[in-house]
Chains A and B, each alone.
Chain A
Amino acid sequence: MPAQQRKPHDASTSDIRTSGITRSRIMWERLLRTVRVHVFFGLSGWTLAAGMLALLVAFPLLTIGVSLFDPVSDRWEHLVSTQLSTYISNSVILVLGVGMFTLLVGVSTAWLVSACDFPGRRFFEYALVLPLALPTYLVAITYAGAFGFAGTLYGSVQSTFGNAAAVAIAGNIMSREALIIVMGIVLYPYVYLISRASFMQQSHSVLEVARLLGRSPGSTFLRVSVPLARPAIAAGLSLVLMEVLNDYGAAKYFGVPTFTTGIFRVWSSYDSPDAAVRLAGMLLLLVILIVLFERMQRGHARYDNSVSVFRPGVRYRLRGFRAAAATVFALLVVTVGFFFPVGQLLYWAAGTPAELVDGRFLRMVLNSFGLAAMATVLCVLTAVILVYTARLHRTWLVRTITKVSVMGYAVPGAVIAIGVLLVLSWLDSTLEPLLRKSFGLSIGFLVTGSVLTLLFAYLVRFIAVSFQSIESGFQSVAERMDESARSLGAGGLRTLLRIDLPLIRGPLLAAGLLAFVDILKELPLTLMLRPFNFDTLATRAFELAQDEMPALAAGPALIIVAIGLLPVFLINSYFTRKWHHESAGTETSVENVSERTSPRG
């Protein structure tokens, strides 16, 4: 009897043992397979190139990580005892404040345009994206310029609301609280776009069930729509927060000391770089926290797609007071976020003497466009190589390489600038004596402070922008296309040039445009790394405003805004198309369907 009783027990333990062995064997085989794939298919130029590019892009960030373990200097201790707590509290308050603001504005406007119908809805659907075209620092400049003492609107506020009100507004316009509103009103479109896409994807029937169970529209929104859209909202929010931490110009202009402005100050005023590196390291930790928060939220994203057939819902028809309130609210948001700042810029520009468009101005425009174009080509080229390599070799090695190389999108420009400077100054200090010794050349610092530095930094920060567009482009090209080409005797390069690239022309253009505009707008990286006496539109606009000449900043600012408007519509249609694509693949537009199914006729 005891023997029989033991029998099943024995069987189970031996099962566990064999499964353990199988698991380790599977892992071993997977490793062997990776090695074999890379030996056979190539330590092909592709893997090598992708690996080197990834290393290059990841290097600045790794350097910062390593530098954190250097011994602590007096400068750092001084900083800790004086300003560090201010940096931390300001940055955290900004993150929380702007986070709350963008959540409220972004989610509510998204729900209004996707679930309701009110006068002007279709106009606002687009218009609500517009603030995306404005960099935060430009909006900060316009509001300070309008409401500050001697501002454009100071007089009218004074005559309408009295002297006390005008002074109160002017005295507070450059405060931390005002900064929260300025950043929030520019950055909410990230939350708006992603949650709108999510609301539109939500199954009609789920919402109908909630209403049949007696829930009011408002209650359905809070209890069903928002929880379902939570992963998407979190994704949008994390983009906003990264932008908040990236911001330099607005905080600097309003005189609110944050991590980013701190990094600048410490870097430019102290001789030892370690304090700036440490600040950058701490800021990086903050970013990692945000990324982790987003990942946690995304863990629940799975139930989002449990419904396979999406039908666009019937919109709530708002009437009377509610309709008016919705229109006024949307109009207010768009006005504060876009029309007012642009109007202020136009007003300034109209008063600017035409002589200002001189040789220096043109050189600056050329600098900006040339630099952005070169960096864009670099970003797109690198992204194509990375994505195509990942397509050729689906191994964990290549997957890791590509993941590492797109980290930069989350990292504030100032941090990247510090990392790039660390890497390049090390490179220069090794290269310079080497060149002198072996070639008798004395060329000084080769890389640091040249345009190359800027290009490299732009690549690190903006590769992810092109990467995402190109990756989704490649995903729409069936694997069989590549395989057909290969079986017809075309090698990797010929397949890429003749088949893949022509088929992803659209995403390729989009990738370039998105990167181009982001680079053109970029401020902190450019300020820190640009060559001496090298102006771009962004740096010039910011400097003029800093030097109390905001009206003169309007020219370069308007060029940035005009270029910045180009991809806004691209982004907007991408999010609408994405929804079309995922819903049954029909060609009918959202508007058409909702009109046909709406009960109005």
Chain B
Amino acid sequence: MVGESGSGKSTLLRLIAGFEIPDSGEIHIDGTAVCGARNFVAPEKRGVGMVFQDGALFPHLTVRENIAFGLHRWERRSRNERIDALLELVGLPEYGKRYPHQLSGGQQQRVAIARALAPEPALLLLDEPFSSLDVIIKEQMREETRAILRRSAATSILVTHDIGDSIALADRIAILRDGLLQQIDIPRNVYNLPRNDYVAALFGKTNILKATCADGGFDTAFGFFPFDGVHPQTESFRLAIKPQDIRLSSDLTNNRRARIIRVIYRGSHKEVILVSSQSTQRQHELVAFVDADSHLAEGAEVSVDVDVRDIRVVQDSA
């Protein structure tokens, strides 16, 4: 589940876990209603595991005791076996006797996952599990979490504001904005076939162009773009074009003309900001990434070219 802060993704997790009560609607887990108009199943009876941002390990309990906390109804033998198996699963078999403050951030997070998995929950919820880790171990932790979740085969919902997390981890990605679901699909489709301009813009800078349908393509402020896909049925659509897919040429090879108003050196590439030759309004700006050593001067007129396959038709979410 991906969304900006304030989009309601954490609230959704808390609703599923039972820490909040919805104003309307129902929540079903594996076909059982846990929250409806008449019934409400308390958080401790839902069988839902939760991993918090900073792990939220109990500081006064050792790693073993933390993991054992959810196993209080288990027999002693099976409990100990379960704890050993989980410590093995998260790769911390020698750390059982330690206290949380003796572990690194990443280790704490792995214990938190083990603790949540211990009672074999029907569903595991992870609330921004990597956001409190520093960049260097974040990548590694993401990989480990993926492996742990695969091995444990637990159904999981992971909330993050980082689309990179979701692309790396998820079987399916749901995108939330202001409490509304924007798209839910496999990662590949979310990237390649974003449903609207908001989803398209999640993957870094994206040009969202106003366009109208024309024969064999679209008319835009920058001229006619040929398109051989299915034309949208509604009028409220946009074209999403990534800056790296735009090619500029000063030879004026076609009739899609733009004027360069700024060139920003970004190290690996140059970022070029263009306006349509016909219009000078800001909403008709276009951003293109070009080679760092290409010679493009501010004020020059160029022609714009985009491969037909790199144009996405998306809905207008505004």
**B-binding residues in A (CB < 8 A):** 29, 33, 36-37, 40-41, 478, 480-481, 483-491, 494, 498-499, 502-503
Q: Mark B25-54, 1 if CB is under 8 A from A, else 0.
A: 000000000000000101111111110111
Q: In the docked arrangement, what's the CA distance between A490 and B61, Å?
A: 15
- Cβ-defined partner of B69 (8 Å) among A33, A40, A498: A498
A481 touching B44, Cβ below 8 Å: no
| Contact in complex: A485, B17 (CB < 8 Å) | no
Looking at B114-122, B145-153, B184-192, the stretch in contact with chain A turns out to be B114-122
Q: Tell me if B56 and A486 are in contact (CB < 8 A).
A: no
Please, which residue of chain A has its CB at the minimum distance from the CB of B43?
A486
Are B43 and A483 touching (Cβ within 8 A)?
A: yes
Q: B19 at interface (Cβ–Cβ under 8 A)?
A: yes
B266 on the A face (CB < 8 A): no
Do A487 and B60 touch (CB < 8 A)? no
Q: Which residue of A lies closest to B39 (CB)?
A: A40
Min distance, Cβ A22 to any Cβ of chain B, angstroms: 15
Would you mind naming 6 contact pairs between A and B with Cβ atoms under 8 Å apart? A40-B40, A484-B115, A488-B49, A488-B119, A489-B45, A489-B119
- Residue of B at shortest CB range from A36? B21
Contact status A502-B17, CB under 8 Å:
no
**Closest chain B residue to A39, Cβ basis:** B40
In the complex, which of the residues B40, B69, B125 contacts A490, with contact meaning CB atoms closer than 8 Å? B69
Q: Are B40 and A487 interface neighbours, CB within 8 A?
A: no
Residues of B within 8 A of A (CB): 17-19, 21, 23, 40, 42-50, 52-54, 56, 58-60, 69-70, 72-73, 115-116, 118-119, 121, 125
**A-B pairs, 9 with minimum CB distance:** A488-B70, A480-B56, A40-B40, A486-B43, A487-B50, A480-B52, A484-B56, A486-B44, A502-B60
The answer to whether A487 and B21 have CB atoms under 8 Å apart is: no
Q: Which residue of B lies closest to A487 (CB)?
A: B50
Interface residues of A, dominant DSSP: helix
Given A484-B52, A489-B44, are A29 and B60 also a contact pair (CB < 8 Å)? Answer: no
Most buried by A among B18, B58, B72, B118: B58
Instruction: Report the Cα distance A494→B42, complex, angstroms.
Output: 14
CA distance A33 to B43 in the complex (A): 18
Are A483 and B70 in contact, CB atoms less than 8 angstroms apart? no
B21→A37 contact, CB < 8 A: yes
With CB as the reference atom, state the residue of chain A lying closest to B48: A487
* Minimal beta-carbon separation of B14 from chain A (angstroms): 8
Say yes or no: B60 contacts A483, CB within 8 Å. no
Q: In the bound complex, what is the Cα–Cα distance between A480 and B70 (angstroms)?
A: 15
* Residue in chain B with minimal CB distance to A490: B44
User: How close is A38's CB to chain B, nearest CB, in angstroms?
Assistant: 11
**CB-based nearest A residue for B59:** A503
Complex CA distance for A478 and B54, rounded to whole angstroms: 11
How far is it, in angstroms, between the C-alpha of A29 and the C-alpha of B17 when the chains are bound?
Answer: 22
Which of A33, A481, A502 touches B21 (beta carbons < 8 Å)?
A: A33
B23 partner residues in chain A, CB cutoff 8 A: 29, 33
Q: Are A483 and B52 in contact (CB under 8 A)?
A: yes
Residues of B with C-beta under 8 A to A41: 21, 40, 42
Q: Given A37-B21, A481-B58, do A488 and B52 touch, yes or no (CB 8 Å)? A: no
Q: How far is the CA of A21 from the CA of B52 in the complex (A)?
A: 39
Please state if B116 and A488 are interface contacts (CB–CB under 8 Å): yes
> Given contacts A484-B50, A485-B69, is CB(A491)–CB(B42) below 8 Å?
yes
Please report the C-alpha to C-alpha distance between residue A50 and residue B18 in the assembled complex, in whole angstroms: 23
Q: How far is the CB of B45 from chain A (nearest CB, A)?
A: 8
The minimal Cβ–Cβ distance linking B112 to chain A, given in whole angstroms, is: 8
- Distance A37 CA – B22 CA, assembled complex (angstroms): 10
A8 to chain B, nearest CB (A): 25
Out of B40, B58, B73, B121, name the residue touching A484 (CB < 8 Å): B58
Contacts of B121 in A (CB 8 A): 487
In angstroms, Cα B53 to Cα A480, docked, is: 9
Taking CB atoms, residues of chain A closer than 8 Å to B18 are 486
User: Other than the known A488-B115, A491-B42, what 19 A-B pairs have Cβ atoms closer than 8 Å?
Assistant: A33-B23, A480-B56, A484-B52, A484-B56, A485-B69, A486-B42, A486-B43, A487-B44, A487-B48, A487-B116, A487-B125, A488-B44, A488-B70, A489-B45, A489-B73, A490-B70, A494-B72, A502-B60, A503-B58
Minimum CB distance partner of A483 in chain B: B19
Q: Are B58 and A487 in contact (CB under 8 A)?
A: no
B167: shortest Cβ distance to chain A, in Å? 27
Q: How far is the CB of B155 from chain A (nearest CB, A)?
A: 15
| Cβ-closest chain B residue relative to A40 | B40
Distance to closest chain A CB from B125 (angstroms): 8
- Smallest CB–CB gap between B59 and chain A, Å? 7
* Nearest chain B CB to A375 CB, angstrom units: 29
